[in-house]
Structure 1
Amino acid sequence: MAAGVVLVTGASGFVGRELVSQLHAAGYRVVATTRNPDSLDGVEAVRLPSPAESVEAFQRILENVDHVVHLAAIAHTQLAGATDVYHAVNCVLAAKLAEAAHRTITGKFVFVSSIRAQSGSVHDGVAVETDPPQPTDDYGRAKLAAEIEIAGIMTGGNYTILRPVLVYGPGVKGNMAALVKLAALPVPLPMESLDGQRSLLDRAALCTAIMHSLHEASTDRGTFIVADKTPMTVPQILAAIRRGLAREPGLFSCPAWLLGLAARMTGQGDRWRTLNGDLIASSALLQSTGWSAVENSALRIEELSRR
């Protein structure tokens, strides 16, 4: 017997593809909103209304749906008026979908936000949910605004907000993709002295957190950081990838200031600050509801790199 019908926005994306697979394996029927329906074989696809459309338009796509998982977002844009774009797509659209869900569905609304709604790309100490939110960019501010809207709309309703840290897995993009490409180079790398620690998150584990939130009552009306248990440094990440590729780590020390200077000279200053700064986040609160975090990110990255 099917576990219910779940509408997943962003179903063809990096996280969405894995989530659809896990939902199917658990017996759910999936309705996907995606700009590329052909990328999801055997999944019913519908058009996601734009932020400018009415709440009623969103309600129509929720007919006969039990639960909603909202993954769709814009993380990086070079468009003019980026602030407005982030707010429209990452906040207004999310709020209208939440309003439609509040009126229509009987199950759970899971909003996948971001650790960037809580902090910048670097953070002193260990980030926990009780820290005052201090986003530092338009993306994070739009995500936080969406969280506030959802909590206000669904007062007494059934929702969960998740704040994942940097996600890794096959086909990853962004900063993790840059590290994968770097590790694949057939040369020694001058990264051994970098000591910034960052919490990471296995894509499959994020999807189990979403699945957990769909049926676990103790996550209702809660906001939770999602992260593996053990933070890693850049050298540890590179070494894990290379072990998975059956290679020696091949790392040597170079002054961090020199690497930072090289990054700035090549236009990679922001990426450098993100990769070499600290951002340690605790998922203990979500674990206390029964979700199991990955114990050792290094072993998991090594395993995935073998595939």
Structure 2
Amino acid sequence: MVTGVVLVTGASGFIGVELVKQLEASGYRVISATRNAGGSNTEIVRLPAPDEPVEAFERILENVDHVVHLAAIAHTQLVDATHTYHAVNCVLAAKLAQAAHKTISGRFVFLSSIRAQCGSVHEGVALESDLPQPTDDYGRAKLAAENEIALAMERGNYTILRPVLVYGAGVKGNMAMLEKLAALPVPLPLKSLAGQRSLLDRAALCRAIIHSLNEAKTDRGTFIVSDRNPVTVPQILAAIRRRRGRNPGLFSCPLWILNIAAQITGQGDRWKTLNGDLIASSAKLQSTGWKAVDNPAGYIAELS
């Protein structure tokens, strides 16, 4: 039985592909709004550009019950980062929300980011009650989008999700880099890295999105989304290698040597991220009935 029509932006992306699968399995009819017609087997409409009028967004929401807005530009090297992030990650979201307020009877779910809450390294446990302190253009654009959505959706039929780093088959970014490191046929001098990082299982994130479409307790809410327990880089690498039938093969090396090596190879910022703490609590979302994954290292070990 079809439980509603959901327009999903970014449906062909890393998270969108899994979300569409779960939505359809739950009985939803999915419409993909995209700038690119490839990569999705769902019904497709053209996603207007940020500089198009709100009316263009209203047209794609005809006969749509819910909206899930995933589409965004993630961390990358941009020539005009401030303008581009603001246009794609804020203005586009704001116009979509304004159109949704006029047209949809259901809910609007916005996939923001933990970077709207804090930087890539954070002291203590990140909570939604903390004052948001984004540290880059990406995070500031996401936070601005959150504010625009709250202003536009006067009925309060919206949910904002702030996921931490997401993992799953086909992941890119830092997790893909760790996959490549783990694949090297040599021991790795990274056992002494002690920074704890909260991660998020992609399937669990998609369940959080669907939960938000169905649960009134998430209305008007902003929620951090993460697995229950943080992990360290050595735990991640060991899990990946065990998945491949190998021993962890990790040994300790003085951190100052690793720091120098990272600076020489131009990986200073990545080093700070991997060796620093970012622990985030999803207790608020769990209190509404969503279930978090307990052991991310165990799930990483099961990925194929």
TM-score (normalizing by structure 2) = 0.99
Cα separation, 2, equivalents of 1:59 and 1:47: 12
Cα separation, 2, equivalents of 1:82 and 1:223: 25
Structure 1 residue 77 displacement after superposition = 3.5
Q: Which residue number in structure 2 is paired with residue 197 of structure 1?
A: 196
Structure 1 residue 153 displacement after superposition = 1.2
1:221-274 deviation per Cα after TM superposition (whole angstroms, max 9, x unaligned): 000000000100000000011111111000000011211111111111111111
1:26 aligned onto 2:5? no
Cα separation, 2, equivalents of 1:7 and 1:101: 10
Structure 1 residue 82 displacement after superposition = 1.1
Cα separation, 2, equivalents of 1:62 and 1:278: 41
Q: Which residue number in structure 1 is paired with residue 209 of structure 2?
A: 210
Residue type of the alignment partner of 2:3 = A
Cα separation, 2, equivalents of 1:130 and 1:99: 26
Cα separation, 1, equivalents of 2:102 and 2:272: 43
Q: Which residue number in structure 2 is paired with residue 287 of structure 1?
A: 286
Residue type of the alignment partner of 1:87 = H
Residue type of the alignment partner of 1:216 = E
1:258-292 deviation per Cα after TM superposition (whole angstroms, max 9, x unaligned): 11111111111111111110000000000000000
Cα separation, 1, equivalents of 2:169 and 2:220: 31
1:68 aligned onto 2:64? no
Q: Which residue number in structure 2 is paired with residue 10 of structure 1?
A: 10
Cα separation, 2, equivalents of 1:218 and 1:239: 38
Alignment of 1:149-298 (within 5 A): 149-298=148-297
Flag structure 1 segments of 5+ consecutive residues without an equivalent: none
Name the Cα RMSD after superposition.
0.8
1:165-223 deviation per Cα after TM superposition (whole angstroms, max 9, x unaligned): 00000010101110011111111000000000000000000000000000000000000
Asked if structure 2 preserves the Cα contact closer than 8 Å seen for 1:192 and 1:251, the reply is yes
Structure 1 residue 38 displacement after superposition = 3.0
SS in 1 for 2:249: coil
Structure 1 residue 155 displacement after superposition = 2.4
Structure 1 residue 78 displacement after superposition = 2.7
Residue type of the alignment partner of 2:149 = I
Identical residues among aligned pairs (%): 76
Residue type of the alignment partner of 2:12 = S
Flag structure 2 segments of 5+ consecutive residues without an equivalent: none
Deviates more, 1:128-137 or 1:30-39: 30-39
SS in 1 for 2:38: helix
Asked if structure 1 preserves the Cα contact closer than 8 Å seen for 2:101 and 2:154, the reply is no
SS in 1 for 2:193: coil
Q: How many residues align?
A: 304
1:138-173 deviation per Cα after TM superposition (whole angstroms, max 9, x unaligned): 000000000011111112330000000000000101
TM-score (normalizing by structure 1) = 0.98
Structure 1 residue 29 displacement after superposition = 0.5
Asked if structure 2 preserves the Cα contact closer than 8 Å seen for 1:228 and 1:296, the reply is yes
SS in 2 for 1:225: strand
